[in-house]
Amino acid sequence: MVKEIWFDMDGTIADLYGVDNWLEMLIANDPTPYATAKPLLSMSALARKLNALQRKGYKVGIISWLSKETTEAYDEMVTIAKRTWLARHLPSVKFDKVDIVAYGTPKWKGRKGILFDDERKNRDDWDVNLAGDAYTQNEIMDVLKALS
């Protein structure tokens, strides 16, 4: 079993879609929703689980897409906003890898283990390509508890 755990951000651990006017802001190349999204679960409980699993040899990573509406400058702003969000909400977690990639990039390429993602297509692709097991955002704490 590959001991890697990957998290999508938007809609999985960060409530991007709960930010008022999020879509209009993204279309206008405004990174505010990525910076102001509220957490979708207890970040302190998640941090405790991830730190414990890392002590058991698991690698923990982020695989998150940039905005569909994009320019090179906007990609840089979104990447900074996402990394800042992680540092603010999960400061004790030292991620082994944080991949902020172009919208639509297959998440399974070059990765294996467990994926948590709110998008069914990403979970299905993960399974079909034998990358490992994929779960919804609602299963995060139960799956992590089972691993520890």
As a three-state string, the secondary structure of 11-38 is: CCCECHHHCCCHHHHHHCCCCHHHHHCC
CATH of domain 4-147: 3.40.50.1000
The per-residue pLDDT for range 11-60, each reduced to its tens digit, is: 999 999 999 999 999 999 999 999 999 999 999 999 999 999 999 999 99
Residue spans per domain, the chain: 4-147
Please give the share of the chain, as a percent, with pLDDT higher than 90.
Answer: 91
- Is residue 94 very low, low, confident or very high in pLDDT (cuts 50, 70, 90)? very high
Burial grade of 43 (CB within 10 A; 0-12, 13-18, 19 or more): middle
Q: Name the 3-class secondary structure at 62.
A: strand
The answer to whether the beta carbons of residues 64 and 14 sit under 8 Å apart is no
The predicted pLDDT at position 130 comes to 81
